[in-house]
């Protein structure tokens, strides 16, 4: 039986990184799902607004931003 589809964490790990998150991705060519382990101990707050210059060419864009 294959065991490449899970993580093994200790209780100490969970205390140090309580916000860790495991996600399973879609299967590709293999019959296994890739697993990702996210460990983020910093709360960076909301992401800043991003803008593409080409948006300014859209009619009504400037008024939409003002409103």
Q: Residue by residue, what is the 3-state secondary structure of the chain?
A: CCCCCCCCCCHHHHHHCCCCEEEECCCCCCCCCCEEEECCCCCCCCCCCCCCHHHHHCCCHHHHHHC
- Gyration radius of the chain's alpha carbons: 21
Residues of the chain with pLDDT under 70: 1-3, 5, 41
Does residue 50 form part of some domain? no
Does residue 36 form part of some domain? yes
Does residue 57 form part of some domain? no
What pLDDT is stored for residue 41 in this prediction? 66
Does residue 16 form part of some domain? yes
What pLDDT is stored for residue 23 in this prediction? 84
Structural domains counted in the chain: 1
Does residue 5 form part of some domain? yes
What pLDDT is stored for residue 57 in this prediction? 93
What pLDDT is stored for residue 3 in this prediction? 63
Does residue 33 form part of some domain? yes
Query: In which domain, by residue range, is 26 found?
Result: 1-43
Does residue 27 form part of some domain? yes
Does residue 67 form part of some domain? no
């Amino acid at each position: 039986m294959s065991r490449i589809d899970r993580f093994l964490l200790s209780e100490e790990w969970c205390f140090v990184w309580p916000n860790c998150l495991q996600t399973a991705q879609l299967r590709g060519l293999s019959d296994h799902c890739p697993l990702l382990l996210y460990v983020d101990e910093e709360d960076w707050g909301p992401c800043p607004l991003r803008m593409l210059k080409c948006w300014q060419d859209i009619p009504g864009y400037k008024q939409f931003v003002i409103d």
